[in-house]
Structure 1
């Protein structure tokens, strides 16, 4: 028999859920516009149900790009040859640290000049021009995969924005909604806006590569005593992190303008930035409240699922393997079943409707 009085996990989850509901009640009229936009977004999704399956296309394209990059990285890493060097007990040996060959080492006079010297494996690599610039090739591979990944995300944002724009501008819904709006928007993005999407993705990819290089430098400087260099690298990492977030935000809105008006990337970025600056307070308020509403939605779904999981574990505890701490399977289940595509897609849809509004 279950005694909920002693189930502190259930009590904690119920308190969290109650707090969230009270917050929703007391926010009152401030939620009217964001709620209206979310309602309109829900209607748009209900009329264009194919948008719910577009994340599968994004996942497939991302899997292809990441697989290609991984295969390329493995090929580059395995393209080196085994390098052997002479190791001698006497560091004054003239042959010390010179490259050698296992096949011909015993036929040379190295052991005569340096008694006890051996031909030992040093590393995988090489001394050719190709092997000297292998790190540059890895950076190029990283840059290409970042560019492709950003382009795939940009294509998805532009496609969804175009599909929802066709819904918004339809005079009589759903009668005047064009047939296959998602496919039509995807075709337009591929045919007319590939260059704009690639250019925006290129800018973001450069910033991300610089961030990766700074992370590598910060990792190398962790054991260093040069505090000034570590401080400068840390400051640069913060600056480029902020720059990346800003470019992502600007690109997202530029792609929406591209999907709506069909202009190039630079013009769309300028128009999007001007529109945002003219309505900065409204945009900031709506964006924060929308994020908070979606966050509450995620917490509510996760909380209800966690309560049901906890009740299930308590009811059928005797039929299940021994669980030392019941919150572990609950957290794992929450992470595996993150409330997903509809809530994650809703924020981008809200931005699109805000521009149309």
Structure 2
């Protein structure tokens, strides 16, 4: 609620169209119909030298006054030159005036030589390509503009043309980014229905995978493993054939470094070294997969049993399959919301906060909520052209922690909802003496309302535990971002000690983040099952994992690895179909796109996210079952007093035995028809 109230002025005063279209310092759109700027579609910068500031890339605008013009300058002219010739040659002023602010008609007005003047430009440069950027040229290996290598700025200081080039590069980068953004939007507008179709296909494939796991988990997983081995082996063979073919071709012996960077990837495929690199990398991957299968056979069998057991449980609770869709939807909504929130504050017009003298008194600048600054004087005045040229940029520092916390809280809430109904159709409840009581959930709660019941229960009792776990993870992520920011600014430093210490800190925080993610996952399982608070559940989960560290490391990671193979196969299959479609290698009419790899990338990433959401249900189920099995192994020994509750297949795989009480022989006398008596049992 706090961030929402924090951004209400942004929604009220901001305009998202100002990010995409040219806007002058008054906030008016260039070229807009039925406005004074209808015939002025170009944007002119008063002092383009200020565009070399780093603020250009941060705020996506140049910190100088801008006006809308109909045509860009075609000659080199400075304001000092116009002032010097104004008395005897006013034709220059007539030409120069069209690039000044409306209403400015006196070039000899005192106080106009300062570099902070916002009523006139300091200089005009000849432009090219209908852009109001300097037309720089190279003559005799020397950078020039208008046959000059230097020029006078608005303060009479001699400046080099290279300064102008740096400023033009930064502002041109923004223009190129906007053009690229428009082309990408055009591609999405042309191919959005194909993207949706690909994501639906990925959803259907993931759902089909979950259904197949219920009946033939062992076959499906081994098919996936063998399929990966076969695909990698095919890649090795194909790379070897291409390498042998190019080994005798002329011009293919050039190295990748000699070729340099090329936007056309086909240039790299014509090199012998490229296919040799593919051959080596694929061979290493193939050997790693084979060694993993060789040494982890038993762990894979146990993982298969857990997956089959989880499939059987999910078959009784189909509502749990909706949670991946809910998670993905909420994450996308969260990301979209924060993108809009980050965009709106940078486009709010506000009265300029420049200190000015008014009636021999310095204007006071109070603050509102420590965020918005307004200019007040003894006499109220309406914001005019000079006071609306700046932009208000509210502080974005509180946003990033809230974004990270939200993105952590949503998956954590889903993780805490799934575990209670999973442990083999039973729920482990904590008694008064910390003993385990087995209660059949299907009998206690109808299975059609099982998942909604636990959603309401966790929302009512364990929201604080979920939020606390998300806060701990967010704190570490904020520290990592802070260190990455420092590392980015110190990358050119020559102090090796500082770089080494910073690298160690970054590595330690990375390890801590991975540890907290795994600990939170197990802690939420304990919270959902036993109802403990987050700290107690995290402590119990940590001790349980450490007491079974070898078994946890083997089984849990093998299960994650097998599910990761499923994610990769789903996303790669969708990506391959999309590539064949957009390159018109399928008998289906494909739309004409500027960059087909952008929709293709969205297809691959979207299908991977969808597959990850579906498979996370199984991953959480397996983790929950495995922690319950660890508890079962520690608390029970298979005796009559403490029997095991795990499935017989898992008992057999783990080498455990369930002891059963033998029936006592009861002898009794029965009378035969012949009249003799005998003892039977």
TM over 0.5: yes
Aligned match of 1:220: 489
Give the deviation of 1:328 after TM superposition: 10
Moved more, 269-278 or 146-155: 146-155
Counterpart pick for 2:412 among 154, 157, 182:
154
Give the deviation of 1:215 after TM superposition: 1.4
Aligned match of 2:385: none
CA contact (8 A) 1:165 1:260 kept: no
Runs of 5+ consecutive residues of structure 1 not aligned to the other structure: 1-10, 85-98, 109-125
Residue 314 to residue 67, structure 1, CA distance change in 2 (3 Å):
closer
Aligned match of 1:119: none
TM-score by length of 1: 0.70
How far does the alpha carbon of each residue in 1:200-258 deviate from its partner, in whole angstroms, 9 at most, with x for none?
A: 11111111111111111112222334443333222222111111111111011000000
How far does the alpha carbon of each residue in 1:97-155 deviate from its partner, in whole angstroms, 9 at most, with x for none?
A: xx566xx89x99xxxxxxxxxxxxxxxxx996935999995232222222222222211
Counterpart pick for 1:230 among 495, 499, 504:
499
CA contact (8 A) 1:13 1:307 kept: no
Q: Equivalent residues in 2 for 1:1-357 (5 A)?
A: 15=234, 28-78=297-347, 81=350, 99=354, 130=370, 137-165=395-423, 167-169=425-427, 178-179=446-447, 180-301=449-570, 316=586, 334-338=604-608, 339-357=611-629
Q: Quote the Cα distance in structure 2 between the aligned partners of 1:75 and 1:315.
A: 42
Moved more, 142-151 or 227-236: 227-236
Aligned match of 2:633: none
Q: Quote the Cα distance in structure 1 between the aligned partners of 2:455 and 2:444.
A: 19
Give the greater-gyration-radius structure (CA): 2
Structure holding more helix per residue: 1
Q: Quote the Cα distance in structure 1 between the aligned partners of 2:587 and 2:599.
A: 13
Q: Greater relative contact order: 1 or 2 (C-alpha under 8 angstroms, separation 6 or more)?
A: 1
Question: Over the residues paired in the alignment, what is the CA RMSD in angstroms?
Answer: 4.3
SS in 2 for 1:163: coil
Residue 12 to residue 191, structure 1, CA distance change in 2 (3 Å):
closer
How far does the alpha carbon of each residue in 1:10-39 deviate from its partner, in whole angstroms, 9 at most, with x for none?
A: x9567379x799789755433221111111
Q: Quote the Cα distance in structure 1 between the aligned partners of 2:337 and 2:591.
A: 41
Runs of 5+ consecutive residues of structure 2 not aligned to the other structure: 1-229, 237-285, 374-391, 428-437, 630-681
Aligned match of 2:44: none
TM-score by length of 2: 0.39
